Chain A
């Protein structure tokens, strides 16, 4: 798994497009493959082909965009520990994946409790992703830096 991390609008997606679009990856926006199969929005980009019948090949390159949204959607129902477990399971099951995630912990502690918990959970999930990842790329002002 390759993890791409950076602040908002830093060029994370452009980096992934540039590097992987030739492989015609399947894109999962804010969801993980299993959920995509169950009808959550799956957007097919790259060469524009709409492939797959919901069953994702574990060999095919897949790209998860807006990974943070997955945490945001699942945290309340599943709790942080279960989310972390599923994240790790995903990483092991899809070694050929790319995960794009936004750094969100670099501001003042939010007043709303849910946002505070979410911010921490996103951070912890990113630590788990980075531990599982073969490669971690951090994008800052469009500049990719390999940090693992």
Chain B
């Protein structure tokens, strides 16, 4: 597992996409290069964001697998030995907690036990990791704004925090991206 983290607008996606493409080329695998998309489109703003990301990775050879409704939806489609990039941890978590039909379950689970939810999400990531040759995960620095949030958001942060610690521990390579500059953490 390879972990990339940064704030919003830090350039972490562009870096992760470049690294994924590079690894796919280096490993010279026949299997595809996947982009596991997690963003749910609620309105024009998300649509524009998704479009921007699509344009950004155009021509890089990514096959997009939609998994905003759970990572398991992508799992069955992944060809073993491929390279995959999942973006991003906070959407992955939000989809679990704030997904329309299952919102309450996910939220309750997180409120009751953020660690258990993080562990469950991490198991999903581990399954993708064992399927693929290289698995890159994009995380989010969302912990340093000094704001005290409501209980649900606090549980959301706790879940992401725990999940990212597990990813970092598992990762063989980790980067923090600051103003487009990748800093090697591990």
Tell me the B residues contacting A by CB distance below 8 Å: 6-11, 45, 141-147, 149, 153, 157, 178-181, 183
Contact call B7/A108, Cβ cutoff below 8 A? no
- The stretch that binds B, out of A15-23, A24-32, A114-122, is A114-122
Task: Give chain A nearest CB distance to B177 CB in angstroms.
Answer: 9
Assuming the contacts A108-B147, A108-B157, asked whether A138 and B178 have C-beta atoms less than 8 A apart, the reply is: yes
Taking each of A107, A119, A138, which has the highest tally of chain B beta carbons within 10 Å of its own beta carbon? A107
Give the interface size class of chain A: 20 to 34
Instruction: Give every chain B residue within 8 A of A103 (Cβ-Cβ).
Output: 7, 178
Instruction: Give every chain B residue within 8 A of A131 (Cβ-Cβ).
Output: 180
Contact call B8/A136, Cβ cutoff below 8 A? no
Task: Give chain B nearest CB distance to A118 CB in angstroms.
Answer: 10
Instruction: Give every chain B residue within 8 A of A105 (Cβ-Cβ).
Output: 6-10, 141
Asked if A97 lies at the interface with its beta carbon under 8 angstroms from chain B, I say no
Taking each of A108, A116, A129, A136, which has the highest tally of chain B beta carbons within 10 Å of its own beta carbon? A108
Contact call B179/A119, Cβ cutoff below 8 A? no
Query: A129 vs B142: C-alpha distance in the bound complex, in angstroms?
Result: 23
Ranked nearest first, the 4 interchain pairs of A and B with the lowest CB-CB distance are: A123-B9, A107-B145, A105-B7, A127-B180
Query: A5 vs B178: C-alpha distance in the bound complex, in angstroms?
Result: 9
Report the nearest A residue to B8, measured CB to CB.
Answer: A105
Asked if A65 lies at the interface with its beta carbon under 8 angstroms from chain B, I say no
Report the nearest A residue to B180, measured CB to CB.
Answer: A127
Contact call B7/A106, Cβ cutoff below 8 A? yes
Contact call B180/A130, Cβ cutoff below 8 A? yes
Report the nearest A residue to B177, measured CB to CB.
Answer: A127
Contact call A120/B144, Cβ cutoff below 8 A? no
Instruction: Give every chain A residue within 8 A of B153 (Cβ-Cβ).
Output: 108
A-B contact pairs, 7 of them (CB 8 A): A105-B7, A105-B10, A119-B8, A123-B10, A130-B178, A147-B178, A148-B181
Instruction: Give every chain B residue within 8 A of A57 (Cβ-Cβ).
Output: none
Asked if A3 lies at the interface with its beta carbon under 8 angstroms from chain B, I say yes
Q: Mark A87-109, 1 if CB is under 8 A from B, else 0.
A: 00000000000000001111111
Instruction: Give every chain A residue within 8 A of B10 (Cβ-Cβ).
Output: 105, 123, 126-127
Task: Give chain B nearest CB distance to A144 CB in angstroms.
Answer: 13
Report the nearest A residue to B144, measured CB to CB.
Answer: A106
Instruction: Give every chain A residue within 8 A of B145 (Cβ-Cβ).
Output: 106-108
Query: A121 vs B181: C-alpha distance in the bound complex, in angstroms?
Result: 17
Contact call B181/A136, Cβ cutoff below 8 A? yes
Instruction: Give the contacts of A15-57 with B (CB-CB under 8 A).
Output: none
Contact call A126/B143, Cβ cutoff below 8 A? no
Instruction: Give every chain A residue within 8 A of B149 (Cβ-Cβ).
Output: 108
Task: Give chain A nearest CB distance to B140 CB in angstroms.
Answer: 8
Report the nearest B residue to A108, measured CB to CB.
Answer: B142
Contact call A120/B9, Cβ cutoff below 8 A? yes
Contact call B141/A106, Cβ cutoff below 8 A? yes
Contact call A106/B142, Cβ cutoff below 8 A? yes
Contact call B8/A5, Cβ cutoff below 8 A? no
Asked if A124 lies at the interface with its beta carbon under 8 angstroms from chain B, I say yes
Taking each of B144, B145, B179, B183, which has the highest tally of chain A beta carbons within 10 Å of its own beta carbon? B179
Asked if A113 lies at the interface with its beta carbon under 8 angstroms from chain B, I say yes
